[in-house]
Amino acid sequence: MITARQSAPPLSRAINVNGWLFVAPALCLIILFLACPMLWSLWMSFQKGKGMNLTFAGFDNIIRLWHDPVFLKALGNTLLFLLVQVPIMLCLALLAAVTLDDPKLKFRWLFRTAIILPCVTSLVAYSVLFRSMFVEDGLINQVLLALHIASKPVPWMTDPFWSRALIVIAITWRWTGYNMIFYLAALQNIDKSVFEAARVDGVPAYARFLRLTVPMLKPVILFTTVTSTIGTLQLFDEVANITANAAGTSAGPANADLTLSLYIYQLTFKFMPSFGYAATVSWVIVILVAILSSLQFWLAREKD
């Protein structure tokens, strides 16, 4: 007697073969354009030399990292942007989503569109626009002077503190709406009777937000935190197009805005090409992403 278990393998093999044939083209492209370059960059990180004249150097590039003041500057700036900008952006996105989820709010569609529009604009286009608005005689300084908020033009491009603040403002403006979309979609899937019951029981608005809204959005908050962390660690376009000089050899005054991604670009294309050392710096970003993402998942884990 042939059982169902005995007759299953031929069908399973057919399904497996068809499945592998279906994903094979995409899998080959991933291996060719993602896995292979990553492995090659890892091998290059252990080599040094100028241009393509590379020789195996062991851990020399790793040792060089800790004696390279420019790398340490770029690492510090990148972590500073991460620690300052990401919390501000996610808090604004969450507050905007909660506000725009209120059915009593009029013209919700208009406010949603206005907040979402920046995230669909070109990175280079909006960076050039910000640069023209925040120069010493630009629109922003003219408005601040006209409203008597500032007594003299703010040195957005020439002062390290204000140049970093400009980058934070630009990134926040660009990506707040992107994260708001996720929060707004999650809020619309939450049963509103939960909030109504809490309101009837006399729970104040801030308590409903902290004890109901935030816990129920925990998976989405984790997702946006991880993606925002990855994006900020790879920050390049805003710095390269807003505060970097025309030659691209300095990011803000005294490299005040230099990030790891921009430093990799400089090592590869602006300075004497040092592909091995640039690959080593790129793997610093990979390690930071892995460590910080794992830490965020660990902090967001369900506690027994």
> How confident is the model over 38-83, as pLDDT tens digits?
898 888 888 887 767 777 778 888 888 898 899 999 999 999 999 9
Three-class DSSP category at 66: coil
Q: Where in the chain is the domain with CATH 1.10.3720.10?
A: 67-299
More confident position, 273 or 76: 76
Tell me the β-bridge partners of 251. 244
At 249 the pLDDT is 57
Instruction: Return the half-sphere exposure (C-beta side, CA atoms, 13 A cut-off) of residue 214.
Output: 11
At 86 the pLDDT is 93
Confidence of residue 1 (pLDDT cuts 50, 70, 90): very low
User: Is the distance from CB of 292 to CB of 229 less than 8 angstroms?
Assistant: yes
More confident position, 261 or 208: 261
Identify the CA nearest to 42 among candidates 279, 270, 247, 229.
279
CA dist 71 and 66 (Å) reads 8
Range of weakest confidence among 138-152, 157-171, 201-215: 201-215
Q: Is the dihedral of CA 245, 250, 252, 253 positive or negative?
A: negative
State the CATH architecture for 67-299.
Orthogonal Bundle (1.10)
Query: What are the structure tokens assigned to 250, written together?
Result: 């300095």
CA dist 166 and 162 (Å) reads 6
Identify the CA nearest to 221 among candidates 253, 259, 179.
179
At 172 the pLDDT is 93
Summarised one tens digit per residue, pLDDT across range 282-301 is 999 999 999 998 888 888 77
Instruction: Please provide residue 246's backbone torsions phi and psi, each rounded to the nearest 5 degrees.
Output: -60, -30
